[in-house]
């Protein structure tokens, strides 16, 4: 079982719609969770971090964490073509203070 | 001013050669990393240094040797290059304390081994 799993996509949503990106992780003791965005040919950049169960909102982005289900998601409201990118879920497993472990990413395509 | 800079951006070389990638950060961060992103876009940690001290060394062949002369620099030397080493290598850094584990990545160095 992979430590962090994501559907590779592509996930295609029309402009203005809500994009929902999902991630599951295997280490129940994980405490820190992150979403990074990576445009093609570019480096990953942090969008959101979340540490507690529930929702965390930042502009059009909402991260949701459910530790009981070992599930973290990212919602993008009012999706724009500029949101088209690969979204990487990352987790810090138990006892690995600096070892950020990434999923394989979900490719999002926002269509006009 | 580039926060995390890597050189070179592209390397094309033959199997068996040795190559180095350099990384520098001007963010004042204490921790630096090397990540490898393969053709399937999977981003995997290789090494992590905190204040020049090695703290993470994943199962990486001995042909890969990181060096951190000071906390602002982390270089990666690769001996006897193999086809499977072809990938994009990302350097990253993060602060300690508040914001720890929030990584800032360099632009990447694309290595192609022929």
* Per-residue pLDDT at A97: 66
Determine, for residues B41 and A34 on separate chains, whether the beta-carbon distance falls below 8 Å: no
The phi-psi region of residue A104 (left if phi > 0; otherwise alpha if psi is between -120 and 50; otherwise beta) is alpha
A9 to chain B, minimum CA–CA distance in Å?
Answer: 13
The distance of Cα B18 from the centroid of its chain, to the nearest Å, equals: 15
B contact set with A (CB within 8 A): 31, 33, 40-45, 48, 50, 55-56, 90, 94, 100-108
Average pLDDT score over chain A: 93
CB nearest A44 (choices: B43, B55, B56): B43
CA-to-CA distance for B91 and B104, rounded, in angstroms?
9
B28's CB contacts (< 8 A; 6+ apart) are: B95
Reported as a single tens digit per residue, the pLDDT across A51-84 is 999 999 999 999 999 999 999 999 999 999 999 9
Q: What percent of chain B has pLDDT over 90?
A: 77
CB nearest A104 (choices: B42, B100, B107): B42
CA-to-CA distance for A35 and B59, rounded, in angstroms?
25
Q: Is A98 on the interface with B (CB under 8 A)?
A: yes
Contact B34, A99 (CB under 8 A): no
């Amino acid at each position: 079982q992979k430590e962090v799993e994501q559907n590779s996509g592509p996930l295609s949503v029309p402009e203005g719609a809500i994009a929902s990106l999902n991630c599951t992780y295997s280490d129940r003791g994980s405490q820190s969770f992150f979403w990074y965005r990576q445009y093609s040919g570019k480096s990953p950049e942090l969008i959101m971090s979340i540490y507690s169960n529930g929702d965390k909102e930042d502009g059009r982005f909402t991260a949701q964490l459910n530790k009981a289900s070992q599930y973290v998601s990212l919602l993008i409201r009012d999706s724009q073509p500029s949101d088209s990118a690969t979204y990487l879920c990352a987790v810090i497993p138990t006892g690995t203070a600096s070892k950020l472990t990434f999923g394989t990413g979900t490719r999002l395509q926002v269509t006009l | 001013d580039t926060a995390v800079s890597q050189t070179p951006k592209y390397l094309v070389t033959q199997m068996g050669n040795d190559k180095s990638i350099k990384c520098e950060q001007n963010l004042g961060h204490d921790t630096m990393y090397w990540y490898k992103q393969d053709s399937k876009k999977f981003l995997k940690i290789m090494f992590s240094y905190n204040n020049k001290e090695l703290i993470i060394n994943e199962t990486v062949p001995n042909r890969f040797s990181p060096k951190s002369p000071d906390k602002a620099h982390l270089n990666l030397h690769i001996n006897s290059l193999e086809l499977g080493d072809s990938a994009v290598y990302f350097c990253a850094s993060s602060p300690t304390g508040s914001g720890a584990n929030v990584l800032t990545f360099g632009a990447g160095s694309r290595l192609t081994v022929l």
